[in-house]
A and B are shown apart, each in its own frame.
Chain A
Amino acid sequence: MSLAFDILLAFGVVFTAAAALGTHDRVASIAGFVVTGLLVALSLVRLGAPDVALAEAAIGAGLTGALLLRSAWRLKPAESRVSPAIDRIIVALIAVCLSGALAWAVYTAPGAALYPALVSERLAESGVTNPVTAVLLNFRAWDTLLEIAVLFVALILVRIVAPAHPQPVVLGELMLPFARIVVPMCAFLAGHLLWQGASVPGGAFQAGAILAGGLLVLMLGGFAVLTPRLLSWGMMVALLGLAVFAVAALSTEALTGTLLLYPDGAAKIWILMIEAVLTLSIAAMLCLLFCGMPRRPLNDV
């Protein structure tokens, strides 16, 4: 029976993705994409990757849909047009080549089964007991530092493009009881995931995405007025993650002689401190992506 479940799930993912791409209606595409994300999270659970499933749940369930709808809101209504046959053939060829290359890479990868043994051998030194957190924040913390830098670069690019701030309509009095329960719940859940990331699935990305979801509810409900000052503070918090992570990397270099090698016995506290700041910073970045950056008046430049 679980085989039937998996087969139905696999077909569901492909079919939903095809439906999201195939339709000419923009909201249908976005809704299809969101549902694809839900099904992908379920598949990750079935594949035994609850960490990734949690991240997909946190980002795919709330934020991607909201971000895409916000982009659609800026665009004019879609014109339905049919691409020339030659274009479609070229695109199909590229897609087939890409899928082929990916399939080849997966089937010929020699080291895929190598890592669990390597990680579990050194897990005791990492300061945490969740192997995923050990890899992300200790063994390969360097990669995570660069990922945060990439996220910040994306934010800077959005700042340069300077999209219009969305003006959400007033949603009415039912938003107040809703926000009163959901927003504290988001903060609570973010803290829970951040703390338990050391031992079981969870961590800074998931916690940050959930916190951003709570902030989005505040914003859409009209409870947070987006003054330029507030947005500037948001930028500061967004930068803080990268700054603290970089300072931590340099301090470990000074303390132990190796970049991002934490001092003996203190690894857990270092990891938790970095993750806590990253959570706030990721939440601020995701929020700013939605609501837009502070803008200077033109005559000021």
Chain B
Amino acid sequence: MTTVLQVVGLTLTTFGVSFLLIAALGVWRLPDVLSRLHALTKADSAGLALIALGAACLKGRPDSLLVLGLCVVLVALSGVTIGHLIARAHLSEGDLE
């Protein structure tokens, strides 16, 4: 049982980390602000959620599950809000500079 959880946890974490790496690549390479925002919000929600889920499997303790869940919710919420605000400001001004 422990080994199954460990394998699942490591797999999930690996997926999450690759999400983060791809998002970093996207923020680096994509051509304009809005597409870069798109890459950022994916990392915030999906990548971190997978990593936290994997970490919870590896840790195997219910109390860490609460902290990890809160981390995921808060980061996703921040990503959504900041993404929306930057995009809105960008559209209404043309350019934020």
Contacts and interface: CB of A to CB of B under 8 A. Distances in A.
Nearest to A181: B77
B74 A175 contact: no
A15 interface: no
B85 A185 contact: no
Contacts of A174: 80-81, 84-85
A174 B84 CA distance: 8
B7 interface: no
Contacts of A172: 84-85, 88
Chain B interface SS verdict (over half)? helix
B70 A178 contact: no
Interface in B60-97: 70, 73-74, 77-78, 80-81, 84-85, 88
Interface residues of A, number: 8
A161 to B, nearest CB: 28
A1 interface: no
A182 B85 contact: no
Interface residues of B, number: 10
A182 B84 contact: no
A171 B85 contact: yes
Interface in A128-175: 171-172, 174-175
B90 to A, nearest CB: 14
A176 B89 CA distance: 18
Nearest to A179: B81
A140 to B, nearest CB: 31
Contact of A185 (B70, B80, B81): B70
A181 B74 contact: yes
A182 B88 contact: no
B93 to A, nearest CB: 11
Interface in A33-87: none
A181 B85 contact: no
Contacts of B80: 174
B88 A178 contact: no
B23 to A, nearest CB: 16
A174 B85 CA distance: 8
Interface of B: 70, 73-74, 77-78, 80-81, 84-85, 88
6 contacts: A171-B85, A172-B88, A174-B84, A178-B77, A178-B81, A182-B77
Given A181-B74, A182-B74, A182-B78, 14 more contacts: A171-B85, A172-B84, A172-B88, A174-B81, A174-B84, A175-B81, A178-B77, A178-B78, A178-B81, A181-B73, A181-B77, A182-B77, A185-B70, A185-B74
